[in-house]
Amino acid sequence: MIFDDTLLFSNAQAITADAASTNIVDLLATGTVHGAAAALSKDVGKGNPIPLLIQVVEDFTLLTSLRVVVQCDTVENFASPKSILETTLVLADLKAGRTFPMTVVPPGTNERYLRVYYDVTGTAPDAGKVTAGIVHGVQTSGVTF
């Protein structure tokens, strides 16, 4: 995978409790076209798919499951985040190399800031790391083109 540091949410982030990604992505404010009364609307999930990769890079221990939520908000501190995509994996699946089945930024991503939120269920893990970000492309092993 090709990661860009400015589009990286988590870089081998240790998940030991509920936590937001260490980084956010600023999708920038929309501008107003010359002569228009209002700014353009935003929905970065429409049109060409924007590849997203969320991958376990260190085996998890102890927890029951990990829910991963992609969120957007109009303010950088995520005072009222909007969940746009989520999935949950159980402990048996949280092994290094496993990717979450969330491969594109979905339609509805229409606010300025974007992050990933990790929600731990069960006992707090003492090991387990995740790398997440917008990538150039997502590997599709075993798929015939």
The reply to whether 90 falls in a domain is yes
**Residue 40: how many other CB atoms lie within 10 Å:** 10
- Can you give the residue range of the structural domain that contains 15? 3-27+44-135
pLDDT band for position 108 (cuts 50, 70, 90): confident
- Cite the beta strand spans of the chain per DSSP E: 3-14, 19-20, 25-26, 52-58, 63-73, 82-90, 113-122, 129-135
Q: What angle do CA 65, 16, 59 make, to 5 degrees?
A: 60
pLDDT per position as a tens digit, 82-92: 999 999 999 99
The reply to whether 38 falls in a domain is no
User: What backbone torsions phi and psi does residue 130 show, to the nearest 5 degrees?
Assistant: -130, 140
pLDDT at 29: 76
pLDDT at 143: 46
Task: Report the distance separating Cα 52 and Cα 143, nearest Å.
Answer: 18
Our count of domains for the chain comes to: 1
In a 13 Å sphere around the CA of 74, the CA atoms on its Cβ side amount to 4
Query: What CATH number corresponds to the domain at position 57?
Result: 2.60.120
pLDDT per position as a tens digit, 32-79: 888 888 877 777 877 788 899 999 999 999 999 999 999 999 999 999
Q: What sign does the CA torsion over 61, 65, 70, 75 have? A: negative
C-beta of residue 70 within 8 angstroms of C-beta of residue 105: yes
The reply to whether 141 falls in a domain is no
The pLDDT of residue 140 is above 70: no
The reply to whether 32 falls in a domain is no
What does pLDDT average to over the chain?
Answer: 90
The reply to whether 144 falls in a domain is no
The reply to whether 91 falls in a domain is yes
pTM score of the predicted model = 0.88
